[in-house]
Each structure stands twice: as structure tokens, then as C-alpha cells.
Chains A and B, each alone.
Chain A
Amino acid sequence: MADERSIKVDRLSVHYHGQTAIRDITFTVSKGMIVGVIGPNGAGKSTLMKAMLGLEKSKGEVLFFGKKINAIRKQVAYVPQRNSIDWDFPVRVEDVVLMGRFMHIPWYKKTSREDRSRAREALEKVGMQEYSNRQIGELSGGQQQRVFIARALAQDADLFFLDEPFVGIDVESEKIIVELLHQLSKEEKTIFIIHHDLSKVEKYFDELVLLNQTLIHAGNVKEVYKPDFLKEAYRGSAAVINEGNEMVVVGP
């Protein structure tokens, strides 16, 4: 059945105090895709993600492989926007990654050796094992992001939601993260990534959801990443120039 291989968002709307943040967003993506959620500032990208995860009051319906969000919560890994974390919090890198295991540990049990080794493996995958004893505030932006990716990996999730993972990070970290995400996509994991600027869109994503309060267009990257759609979404705040086969995008 097609349902079990796809994520369907049907007429999803969110209002904050009577003001529309997103309206009637409808799209379908299939399992194992890397999906870019693209749009200008305040377009409602974070809101869309939160509404899909059932964290914001919304109208409409979202089905993950035919199921409602509450049935698959343990399979959802979420990487928050960097500015929503208190970097002075007294946790070390390894403690943060271990949090990815929490939902799998019953309340009456202690964290097992296996949970710890899973966490350690995840940390190795992002190349941060040497930093496992550091307090999280003592890392660079890219390293911090890698730690949160490691937490998501440790969770063994099927669905990944990342809110602007590439903002303010170094090239090296970005490369490591992108490689890992492609690896995950090969393992049939579905990944949603909010992406702020338009660079590298074609390289990173399989599918795009382009929105500005309402859906502009969704589908395969090649189909969506076109000057007309982008112009409509960014309404003049980004200049899009077509040069032969290459499309050059100048961000706002």
C-alpha cells in the first residue's frame, strides 16, 4: 500500500492568536527521502515542523506511513534550532547523546551498558568521541550541532527533523553531517531539514517543500527549484538569475 511508504500532510494550518502562520499546506513525500523545507524568514518553516510533530495546535491531518504522530513518537528524532538550547546547562557531550536513548529505557531501569555503547558509537560517527567529557558550551557551533546529530543517531529513529542544522557551522562539520544524512537516507530513513538560504539546495535534498505561509510548491528538487517558484516564495527578497543550465541564486 502506498500509505505505508509515504508521509502525507493534508491541509495543515496553524494560527497564533488569530494570525495565520501556515495555511492549508498539503504535500506527500516518500520514505527514505531527504526533504528540504525552504522559505524566507517567518515563512512558517519551524511552525510546519512543529505542527507535523503535533507540538502546535493545528487543523488538518498528518499521516506518517499511515499512522498518526502519537503512534510513532519513539521513532522521531528532533534536532532543535541552535538558539533554543541553554549552552550553559551542566551536561557533558556524552550525557546529551545518551538522552537519545531515554525513550527506549523503561522508567524502572537504569541506563544499560548497551545504551552507553550505542551513544558512544553515535559520537564516533560524528567524529566527536574525543570531546565526550566536555561541557556542551565549550564546543564550536559545528561541534555542538554534531553532538545533537549524534543524539538523533543514538535514538535509532526512522524519522529525522532538523531545524536549520547548517546555520553558523564550519565547513568540516557541515560535510560530516551531510554525509551522515545521505547514509541515513540510504537506510530508508526519512529526513526533514529546514534550510534557510538557497545555496546547495540541489546538492543536499531529494525533495523540496517550498512555502511562504501557504505552500508554493512541493515535489522533486528539480521540479520545485525553479526561478518562478522561488520568486513567488521570496517575493523579491532573493534575486534568482538563470545562466544557461546553471541557476545562480543570490540570497537576501
Chain B
Amino acid sequence: MIENINSFIFQLLNYPYLQNALFAAVLVGIICGVIGCFIILRGMALMGDAISHAVLPGVVIAYMLGASFFVGAVITGVLTALAIGFISQNSRIKEDSAIGIMFTAMFAAGVVLITALQGTSVDLWHILFGNVLAVSRTDLYFTLGIGIFVLGTIVIFYRPLLLSTFDETMAKATGLPVKWIHYMLMLLLSFVTVASLQTVGIILVVAMLITPGATAYLLTERFSVMLFLSAFFGVVSAVTGLFFSVIYDVSSGASIVLVASVLFAIAFFFAPKQGLVFKMLKKPKNETVAP
């Protein structure tokens, strides 16, 4: 193991592409972790999955037109969020069904476009599963820009975001534009997905959104602490996952997600208050059963 770590550090010091990869993965770990906390507490995990998949046709069309894939991705991401809202508000279809309909439709459109483009260099595999080792300097600056924007927005709107997440009716009653806050989050979610494309890929983005946040949720009772813990777990997953991916030459996105999952499993069983093991140990003593 020590040898492997030394070898990883050696490679890191000598290969700029690996440095880029590491920075990108760390950034993605942070922003996914932070946005993920809001996604979890608003019960929007499925929405996160939807937006990330819906980004695909935007990326492909942008490629076809030679435009920035960032713009394409954000447009289709936000359009999908709007369409989901439109369907669930204007029919008896419930939101989760609307999400299921929209994101599969968008994703299918993306796959059809890609297969129609066969022979070009759009690599479906890399969009779907990421390839962090191909991150260029430009990509890295781009990710950094998104990261600063996303974190800045959350810092500025921290109180409205917290209140509207915790108590939507009071938020509305005191005059917060709750609907706009929702769409702002969807916009940030599209940004984060685009930033994560190369690191973990479309399919696994949702894991980076949900898993570190869920791990943090089991460990703290304060929202601000949850945000930091979640970002921390995102970073640990990113670095450790990248390490395994380099040493054992396996997919970077998938190994990052696996590390995040292992962290979650540890918290699930051994968290001091919420962990399964301690809950079981405590139960016989307590007379009242928590609801």
C-alpha cells in the first residue's frame, strides 16, 4: 500500500495531466457535495438524476454545432426542469412520473443523436462515465469558474435557501420567491452536472450529489456542518477514488463513486447517533421507541 501511495505521489508530481485530474476531482467533490445537501433535504434525488441525464442531448447538439457544450448542457438541463414542473402542474401526473417521462425522453434523444453521428469523435462512453485523466488546463479553469459561481451563489442565498428548504410555507408567507429559488437550484444543478461530466460522467453524477450528503446527514444535526462534511466526503472520495483508478487502472468515475459508497456504508453502520449498530445497542435500555 505504502508503495502504491508513493507511486501515486510520484506520478502526481511528474505528470501535469494527473494534477489537472486531481484538482478537477476535488472541485467536483466539493460542489457536488454542497449542492447535494439541498437536493437530499428537498427530497429531490430523482430530480438530480433527471437533470444530469437531460444534459446529454445538449452536449451532443452543442458538439454538432461546434458551440460550447456548457451552454448546450445548461439549456437542456433547465428546459427539462421547466418541462417537469409544467407537466406536473398542468395535469394529474405526479411529479415523480413527470420526472421519469422527461429524463428518459431527453436521454434517449441524446443517445439517438450520438448514434446518428457515428464515426465522429464524440465518445459516448466518456460522456456517460467520465474520463478524468483527459481533463485539460482549460477544462480545469472552466470547472473552477463553475465552482466559484455555485459556491458564491449558495453563500449569498444561504438563508433563503435554508428557510425555503426547511419550511416552504413560512418562506412564501414572508415573501421569498420560492419558485425562483427552486429554478435557481435547478440551474446550479445543471452547472454542477456539466462540471462533473469529465470526472464522473452523466450516469454517476447523481451518486456524487446524493451519497456524500447522505453520509453527512447521518453524522450531524446542523445544516451548516452538513454542508462542510458533505464537501469533505466528496473530496475524500475524489482523491481516494482517483488513487485507486491510477494504481489499478480502472475507471476513475466509478472508483470515486465506490469510495463514496463505502464511506456511506461506514456511517450507516457506525455513526454515533444514527448508526445502525449503536441504535441496536441502545434499544433495550430505552423504554420509549423513537418514532
Residues of A within 8 A of B (CB): 50, 53, 55, 70, 73-74, 76, 78, 80, 84-86, 89-92, 95-96, 99, 102-103, 105, 107-108, 135, 161
Contact A90 B163 (CB under 8 A): no
Contact with A along B154-185 (1 / 0, CB 8 A): 00110110110011011011110000000000
Main secondary structure of the interface of B (DSSP, over half): helix
B220 partner, pick from A53, A70, A90, beta carbons under 8 A: A90
Report A-chain residues with C-beta under 8 Å of the C-beta of B221: 90-92, 135
Known: A84-B167, A103-B175. 19 other contacts (CB 8 A): A55-B169, A73-B173, A73-B174, A76-B173, A78-B169, A78-B170, A84-B169, A86-B41, A90-B221, A90-B223, A90-B226, A91-B221, A91-B223, A95-B223, A96-B166, A102-B160, A102-B163, A102-B174, A107-B160
Contact B163 A99 (CB under 8 A): yes
A70 partner, pick from B159, B162, B169, B175, beta carbons under 8 A: B175
> Is residue B282 contacting chain A, with contact meaning CB distance below 8 A?
no
A103 partner, pick from B41, B174, B226, beta carbons under 8 A: B174
Give chain B's interface residue range (CB within 8 Å of chain A): 20 to 34
A-B contacts, 7 of them at CB < 8 A, read: A53-B173, A73-B175, A86-B166, A92-B221, A99-B163, A102-B160, A107-B160
Interchain CA distance A202-B279 in the complex, whole Å = 46
A99 partner, pick from B157, B162, B173, B217, beta carbons under 8 A: B162
Closest A residue to B217 by CB, please name it. A90
Report B-chain residues with C-beta under 8 Å of the C-beta of A90: 41, 217, 220-223, 225-226
Interchain nearest-CB distance for A114 vs B (Å): 16
Contact with A along B258-286 (1 / 0, CB 8 A): 00000000000000000000000000000
A85 partner, pick from B41, B167, B174, beta carbons under 8 A: B167
Interchain nearest-CB distance for B272 vs A (Å): 13
Contact B174 A76 (CB under 8 A): yes
Interchain CA distance A84-B163 in the complex, whole Å = 14
Contact B222 A91 (CB under 8 A): yes
Closest A residue to B165 by CB, please name it. A89
